[in-house]
A = this chain, B = another copy of it.
């Protein structure tokens, strides 16, 4: 069945599989000390525009969030996130498992507003009893957000300033980073984004890799003995090459960006299809995830022909569902959707 269920329903971009094959018999040290990890890090540093950035590869998105947050927070601190942030909702308590609280800020279209962040911080430190509460220790944003929306450069800059004012590292979860940067609405580049963050991830799993996320520490702030902390969390792959080779391929000839641009193009076409069918969007997403409102009967009928994701019940008769495009979405997929919608 044609699927728009998510951006992780197919395997890897062919260039990645090719790279795995070509290097398969090369003998390399384990645990990320191989040539391809080194090369991939070098290429990422270049793409990010930071010679001194430190890069570490992990296998999955929730793992990345938990490892980064728990190694960067002090004991008495929690992480601030929008109430719809991935760490707040869809990680089965992975942050809490590390002993840290997720402190939530209201959201608007999936985003934390700078003013709400500032209000939280002001009110926390103004509270005479704040020593009895979890200290805010880091700000977590996702770009794009869980609703496919994007922070503007202006918004990100304001949040970054607030973070520096309060001495909080800013962590940007880029599980779908490419789709954000390649969006027609994006008003910042990767180096600009990197300069505003203290640490961010570059998602591979959802952008053409079999698995893998690159964590970029932008200010010489990779936690000491980070590899040991990663091992302690069961997150260190013996064959680190699996991640290095994939990211080396993704950052060769701008593959990461061309994959993302293709998915954005397909997502724009999805929007046109829904508009042509008068199917309302739940919100205006400029990235590869499109949230539409279906009547429940319409949803059930469509389900037999096309795979998509349940998002949430809107009311008794309507459901919000998600359609995602990816590197592997084709014209034929779009045609199948068109036909299924009648």
Contact = CB atoms under 8 A, between A and B. Distances in A.
A71 B99 CA distance: 13
A233 interface: yes
Given A96-B100, A96-B101, A313-B126, A239 B8 contact: yes
Interface in A49-107: 59-67, 70-71, 74-76, 78, 89-102
Contacts of A129: 90, 310
A24 interface: yes
A292 to B, nearest CB: 17
Contacts of A75: 70-71, 223, 229, 232
A310 B239 contact: no
Interface of A is mostly: loop
A62 B17 contact: no
Contact of A62 (B59, B128, B206, B234): B234
Interface stretch (A39-47, A132-140, A263-271): A132-140
A260 B225 CA distance: 34
Contact of A25 (B211, B242, B328): B328
Contacts of A235: 60, 63, 234
Contacts of A312: 127
Interface stretch (A27-35, A193-201, A249-257): A27-35
A6 interface: yes
A97 B211 contact: no
A228 interface: yes
Contact of A97 (B91, B92, B99, B126): B99
A29 B7 CA distance: 10
A93 B136 CA distance: 11
Contact of A30 (B8, B63, B225): B8
Contacts of A97: 99, 232-233
A126 B312 CA distance: 9
B238 A206 contact: yes
A227 B26 CA distance: 35
B67 A232 contact: no
- Pick the 7 closest A-B CB pairs, nearest first: A63-B234, A11-B24, A76-B228, A3-B27, A92-B231, A93-B101, A93-B134
